[in-house]
Structure 1
Amino acid sequence: MAKKPKLEHSELSGEYSEDGVTVLVDIFRPAGTQGDWKLEVVTEKEELFEWDEPFATDREAFDEFLATVARDGIRSFLEDDDVPTTH
């Protein structure tokens, strides 16, 4: 069984609530590296939304999340599909 790589989570990760909806924003990269950051959003129903492209900084990843919420609304993460979505 392969070991999962250890991850470093950004201080910008955490719960985000708006308009009665709460999601978990997870921004991470491999621990001990200066690698790019990945962005994932998990809903209360444990639906996963992940961005295909990595980000140079954790701030860029969080800003992209905020831009998505501003453009599409927080409810855009509440889809009836069980299929993970990429942004």
Structure 2
Amino acid sequence: MTKKPKLEHSDFSGEFEDDSITVLVDIHRLAGSNDGWTLEVISQEEDVTTWEDSFTSDKEAWEEFLATTERDGIRSFLGDDDATQSVH
């Protein structure tokens, strides 16, 4: 049986609410590594938005999330019936 790698989650990870919509922001990397940080946003309907590129710091990932929310709105993380997984 293969073990799942342990992840280190950023202090910036957690729920974020805007315009009465709540999403889970998950910023993580492999535990004990200096690898880049991965940014994922998960809606209450379990739509997952994942950025293709990693970030040098967890703060950089958080700032990208905030910039995307400001530019595109929190609703951009909500899928619709015809949408596939979003990637930024």
Q: TM-score range by the shorter chain?
A: over 0.9
Q: TM-score, normalised by structure 1?
A: 0.95
Asked if the contact 1:27/1:61 (under 8 Å) is kept, the reply is yes
Match of 1:9 in 2: 9
Q: TM-score, normalised by structure 2?
A: 0.94
Asked if the contact 1:47/1:84 (under 8 Å) is kept, the reply is yes
Residue 48 (structure 2) pairs with residue 48 (structure 1): yes
Unaligned 5+ segments in structure 2 are none
Letter in 2 for 1:34: N
Specify the SS of the correspondent of 2:40. Answer: strand
Query: RMSD value over aligned CA atoms?
Result: 1.0
Asked if the contact 1:27/1:37 (under 8 Å) is kept, the reply is yes
Aligned-pair CA distance for 1:79: 2.1
Unaligned 5+ segments in structure 1 are none
Number of residue pairs matched? 87
Alignment deviations for residues 47-76 of structure 1 (CA, whole Å, 9 cap, x no partner): 110000000000000000000000000011
Stretches of 4+ aligned residues off by more than 2 angstroms? none
Specify the SS of the correspondent of 1:36. Answer: coil
